[in-house]
């Protein structure tokens, strides 16, 4: 089992491109299978995604 470092949400940043609106409903998902995902954050280099799963009580670390 891999041990993950806990990360505060203040350390994470997220941005949205408002200049090119797109419809994400028909895009292929990056990951799936979460019970109740509530938030998504990305590392500064964009290589790691963190998903807060309130039902499981964890923050998932996903390398993208």
Residue 27: Cβ within 10 Å count = 8
pLDDT tens digits for range 11-42: 555 556 667 777 777 877 777 888 888 888 88
Question: Do the domain assignments include residue 1?
Answer: no
Going from the C-alpha of 63 to that of each of 12, 29, 30, 49, 55, the distances in angstroms are: 15, 14, 10, 6, 21
Domain assignment present for 60: yes
Q: With respect to residue 8, please indicate whether it lies within any of the assigned structural domains.
A: no
Q: Specify if 20 maps to a domain.
A: no
* Parent domain of 51: 30-64
Domain membership flag for residue 49: yes
pLDDT of 8 above 70: no
Residue found by looking up tokens 């807060």 in the block: 52
Give the predicted TM-score (pTM) of the model: 0.55
Q: How many domains does the chain have?
A: 1
């Amino acid at each position: 089992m891999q041990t993950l470092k806990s990360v505060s949400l203040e350390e994470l940043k997220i941005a949205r491109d408002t200049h090119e609106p797109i419809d994400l409903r028909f895009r292929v998902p990056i990951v799936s299978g979460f019970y109740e995902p509530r938030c998504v954050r990305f590392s500064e280099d964009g290589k790691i995604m963190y998903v807060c799963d309130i039902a499981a009580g964890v923050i998932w670390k996903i390398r993208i």
